[in-house]
Structure 1
Amino acid sequence: MDIAALLRELSESSGVSGYETEVRERIAEAMRPYVDEIRTDALGNLIGWKRGAGPEPRRKVMLAGHMDEIGLIVTQIEKGFLHFTEVGGYDVRILPGQEVIVHGRKPYPGIVATRPPHVLTPEERNQVPKMEELLIDIGLPPEEVEKEVQVGDLVTLRIPCTSLRNERMAGKAFDDRAAVATILVCLEELSRLRHTWDVYAVATVQEEVGIRGAITSTFGIAPDLGIAIDVTHGDMPGVPDTDTVELGKGPAITTGPNIHPKVFEALVETARRHEIPYQIEAAPGPTGTDAWAIQVSRSGVPTGLLGIPLRYMHNPVETLDLNDIRRAGRLLALTIARLDEVDLSR
């Protein structure tokens, strides 16, 4: 599997929370060769099912990584300029000067504009502009803008992926399409392994606005065990080492009250057996990921969490190491292949 090409395709696809159709189609195409069945549920989650080799009724393991991305939405049209607000958690500091795509009657290129410094007061020059002060200009006359764009249309950043040195890549929406890529690597690895449990590979929706996709998909699947994959903060200057993990040193295996201790132990033991580099991350409360929704579904699900180290989260230049995705996918597959050994009792 060409992970760089896959991640580039997923990153450059549109899929704002609640509107994931385009990226879902790309993921389905990539997933189809590795699963026995694929479907989309009522909320929009993409669910791939891979049959296990054990006797029926087989136990079920669910893998979850969200495919939605943060984005913008048009709130007002004023003299041909578009006012907007965020869908999910954008950092307004990075928006001025960005190229965007306005998803109107057809996709329109545009730019995020703000008043030039020459017309600002001294106080305003030292302040971050508020989102309501920013405008999107698509270059059309006002009357054409009114015909082609309406309130509620979505806006995504127009950011191509960049390949850096040493297997590093930068781009938008690696949070959390890096996790989707990890799940696909896992499925490819499982095609060469024997596993007795059924595997449900889920690209979830609407995580950025309230982990909604994980809530509904977990309820529908009713897994015996669930593992969420998400990104976690990578090392960079200005951020304490205690709040980050290192790029290129393997996935972070999370421990804490959101995580079942036996699932944590199984992931660590598998990594040690197969000499897969890994890091440990402590989460003292809810992790803010799909893992929380999985854990508290129905009467409770034993849950684990893998984190892909990522720098500059919720920026258009999110940066990761492709080796961390490869290692995380292999770790998941090898753990699934030995689940019959894992005692999930408390």
Structure 2
Amino acid sequence: MDYKELLKKLSESHGVSGHERGIYDLLRKEFEEISDEVLEDNFGNLIFKKKGTKGKYKVMLAAHLDEIGLMVKDIDEKGFIKFTTVGGVDQRTLPSQEVIVHGKKELLGVIGSKPPHLLSSEDMEKAIKIEDMYVDVGLPKKEVEELVKIGDIITIKRDFRELLNDYVSGKALDDRAGIVVMAVCLDELKKLYHYHDIYAVATLQEEVGVRGATTSAYNVEPDIAIAIDVTHGKARGVSLEIELGKGPAIGKGPNMHPAVYKGLVETAKNYNINYQVEPLPGPSGTDAWAIQVSREGVPTGLVSIPLRYMHTSVETGNMKDIISSGKLLAYYIANLPEELEGHLCY
């Protein structure tokens, strides 16, 4: 499997929270070759099951499929589309972006605002407010209203780019990169012997409240779970310790079970996989938070891919981190003992 090509396809696909179904066919096609069964639960989460040799215990992997985006709020008298946000969109990054309005048919548009020539010196010093932006699709109001309705989704149009030194950039690497990590893991497990059934879940609506993780964990009832997401990577002007190209970040804190954390670290050391430790003293803000407290509680871990410029259209990561994250998970799963009862004690 070409993991970079898969990430490109996923990044350039569109699936704002609550509207992820447009990516289902792509995922099914890519994952049916590396999993034994493809399931869909009532909420819409896609679950890729890979059977173990015993099948007594369940190991759940979770990476969210949804992305942040925009939603049509109004159409003014000139045909300009006013919008609001879905998820944590940074409004400072929106002016001059190319977008796709997903109405009765896809409409290419641009996000416009008042030109700097017409701004006061005071306004020039301020970020443009989202209520002062609009999408211009080049049509009059009547024609726009025939194609676009209030509540329609708008996504950023951005091509995936390969940078130097295995760096890649594009939209929605949060968390389509995590989906690719699951693909690497399942692909690697085809070569390995493992006792336990694997449930790799592409969760929905993480960006608006870890909803897919909540429902899928309740449904799967895993014995162990590991969430896969992105984390803020070191960048210019940002005082962070997690670096791109230095391997996955393994979360450590109350959201993560100590035995799962220890197992991931030991696996990384035993297989010479570079890794970093991410201290998380409170809620992790990922699917791990919902999974941990599902039903009676689930021993949960977190593996994160270092990422720059999160929640922008130029999110930047490193393919080496993505591939090593998938291999780390595969080797961890392959080394889990046949009986897990004593393995997960505090």
CA contact 1:24–1:67 (8 Å) conserved in 2: no
Instruction: Write the distance in 2 (CA, Å) between the matches of 1:320 and 1:36.
Output: 30
* 1:39-88 CA distance string (max 9 Å, x none): 1111111001111101x5x1000000001000000000102010000000
1:284-324 deviation digits (Å, cap 9, x = unpaired): 00000000111000000000000100000001000000000
Structure 2, unmatched stretches of 5+, are none
Between the aligned partners of 1:21 and 1:105, the Cα distance in structure 2 is 16
Q: How high is the TM-score relative to the length of structure 1?
A: 0.97
> Aligned pair 1:264/2:261, yes or no?
yes
Q: How does 1:56-71 map to 2 (within 5 A)?
A: 58-71=56-69
Correspondent of 1:338 among 317, 335, 339: 335
Instruction: State the 1:29 CA deviation.
Output: 1.3
Give the residue type in structure 2 aligned to 1:331: L
Aligned to 2:224: 225
User: Any idea what SS the aligned residue of 1:8 has?
Assistant: helix
**Where does residue 244 of structure 2 map in the other structure?**
247
**Once superposed, which parts of structure 1, at least 4 consecutive aligned residues long, lie more than 2 Å away?**
none
Structure 1: any 5+ residue segments left out of the alignment?
A: none
Give me the whole-angstrom Cα distance separating, in 2, the residues matched to 1:269 and 1:220.
Answer: 30
Measured after TM superposition, the shift of residue 240 of structure 1 is 1.1
**Structure 2 residue aligned with 1:209:** 208
Residue 19 of structure 1 is matched in structure 2 by 19
Counterpart secondary structure, 2:33 = helix
Partner of 1:156: 155
The residue that corresponds to 1:40 in the other structure is 40
Identify which of 76, 84, 88 aligns with 2:74. 76
How many angstroms apart in 1 are the aligned matches of 2:321 and 2:108? 33
How many Å apart are 1:25 and its aligned residue? 2.2
Aligned-residue identity in percent? 53
Letter in 2 for 1:77: I
TM-align CA RMSD: 0.9
Q: Deviations over 1:120-165 (max 9, x none)?
A: 2221111111111100000112210111111011000000011001
> Take 2:246 and 2:53, find their aligned partners in 1: how far apart are those partners?
33
Q: 2-side partners of 1:329 and 1:121: how far apart? A: 51
Q: Deviations over 1:145-190 (max 9, x none)?
A: 1111110110000000110011110000000000000000000000
Tell me, in whole angstroms, the C-alpha distance in 2 between the residues paired with 1:336 and 1:24: 26
Where does residue 129 of structure 1 map in the other structure? Answer: 128
Count the aligned residue pairs: 342
Work out the CA distance in 2 between the residues paired with 1:42 and 1:138.
36
Structure 2 match to 1:170: 169
Find out whether 1:198 has 2:211 as its counterpart: no
